[in-house]
Amino acid sequence: MRVLITGVAGYIGSVVARTLLEGNLSVVGIDNLLFGGEGLTTIFTHPLFVFRRADLNDTALIRSLFETSQFDAVVHLAAIVGDPACRSQPDLAEAVNWTATVKLAAVASEHLVERFVFASTCSNYGASRGAETLMAEDAELRPVSHYATLKVRAEQHLLQRHLWPKDTFPVVLRFATAHGVSPRMRFDLTVNEFAAATAEGYPLDVYNPLSWRPYCHVADISRAIEKILFAPTSQVAFETFNVGDTTENYRKDAIVAAVVQRNSSATVRHLEGAADPRDYRVDFSKIARCLDFRCSRRVNDTIDQVSSMIEAGIFVDTKSWRYRNA
């Protein structure tokens, strides 16, 4: 199987690429290296891997890739990622997360690529009063940011049946908030950020401690994508899956408590004012039932690993732009 991964140098993309290469799939990866190319260091010379530095909005170049390679699947991860990054660059976010996504899907369907796997987000559930209901895939979407609004628009566009010739189809994956170590590390994701801050001796700045959110290890997200690529068409065509594990929904104060348990010298500052109204608990029973998928790693595993790696001096300067999307 030959797979095109967009955003291959990113936090998730670099782990997905390695997972697929370990399974002997051919991978062509594209990325414009917004955060540098370190994510590719362990796979760059892999015999089954080809990297092209490319901007998704360069339609001629994207088209030429499809003309020279017959892809069986596209895993579309490239985006301006996260609420703060999309808020600070709204036009760029629209150009990448919407316009380029629509164009990429059109080129993929024109070239009869069987599977188009789209990275969406559980942020689409937005302000859903987390404690009360578990949000399944058919729940009402209530995006509260430009980032999630663009993801919802892209999902709705991609799932239109008339866009896809016979034997080709999209699959929408709504990832839980990722955590864990990746070759392109992100320290702006809650679990990674809190573990790093305490290990480096910074206070934990906590907003909205009672808000709920689901979490999923980046390696588990990659396993889920691999499963989607190999699943029978009848199980995944035109389907939407939440990607995570129902047991991995946490209130933010529970994450804080776990971090403090790992590092008892941590100081916590409860802050008010930064209004992020997101609050949702998510139901992951569909992916468990259809694809036999469950998370193999827990939030506590990452708190331990990130803390240990920082204590060992493996990451320095976790506040660097390389590790943060905004």
Contact set with ligand NAD (CB under 6 A) = 7, 9-13, 30-35, 55-57, 77-81, 96, 119, 121, 175, 177-178, 184, 186, 189, 325
On whether the CB atoms of residues 130 and 279 are closer than 8 A, the answer is yes
Instruction: Find the shortest distance in angstroms from Cβ 238 to ligand NAD.
Output: 19
Instruction: Find the shortest distance in angstroms from Cβ 211 to ligand NAD.
Output: 15
Phi, psi of 63 (to 5 degrees): -60, -40
List the structure tokens of 245: 């594990």
Q: Which is nearer to ligand NAD, 80 or 204 (CB)?
A: 80
Q: Which is nearer to ligand NAD, 7 or 170 (CB)?
A: 7
Instruction: Find the shortest distance in angstroms from Cβ 133 to ligand NAD.
Output: 20
Instruction: Find the shortest distance in angstroms from Cβ 95 to ligand NAD.
Output: 7
Q: Which is nearer to ligand NAD, 105 or 178 (CB)?
A: 178
Q: Which is nearer to ligand NAD, 167 or 320 (CB)?
A: 320
Angle (CA) 155-230-176 rounded to 5° is 45
Which amino acid type is present at position 96?
Answer: V
Q: Which is nearer to ligand NAD, 217 or 262 (CB)?
A: 217
Buried b (16+ CB within 10 A) or exposed e, 114-147: bbbbbbbbbbbbbebebeeebbebebebbbbbbb
Instruction: Find the shortest distance in angstroms from Cβ 84 to ligand NAD.
Output: 12
Angle (CA) 301-302-303 rounded to 5° is 95
Which of 325, 281, 274, 278 lies closest to 143, judged by CA?
Answer: 278
From CA 127, how far away is CA 59, in angstroms rounded?
Answer: 36
Helix, strand counts (H, E) of the chain: 12, 14
Q: Which is nearer to ligand NAD, 51 or 169 (CB)?
A: 51
Instruction: Find the shortest distance in angstroms from Cβ 42 to ligand NAD.
Output: 15
From CA 216, how far away is CA 190, in angstroms rounded?
Answer: 12
From CA 295, how far away is CA 118, in angstroms rounded?
Answer: 20
Q: Which is nearer to ligand NAD, 112 or 286 (CB)?
A: 286
Instruction: Find the shortest distance in angstroms from Cβ 220 to ligand NAD.
Output: 12
3-state helix, strand, coil in the chain (%, to 5): 40, 20, 40
From CA 284, how far away is CA 220, in angstroms rounded?
Answer: 13
Q: Which residue is nearest to ligand NAD (CB)?
A: 10
Residue showing tokens 């809190």: 194
Q: Which is nearer to ligand NAD, 11 or 250 (CB)?
A: 11
Instruction: Find the shortest distance in angstroms from Cβ 13 to ligand NAD.
Output: 5
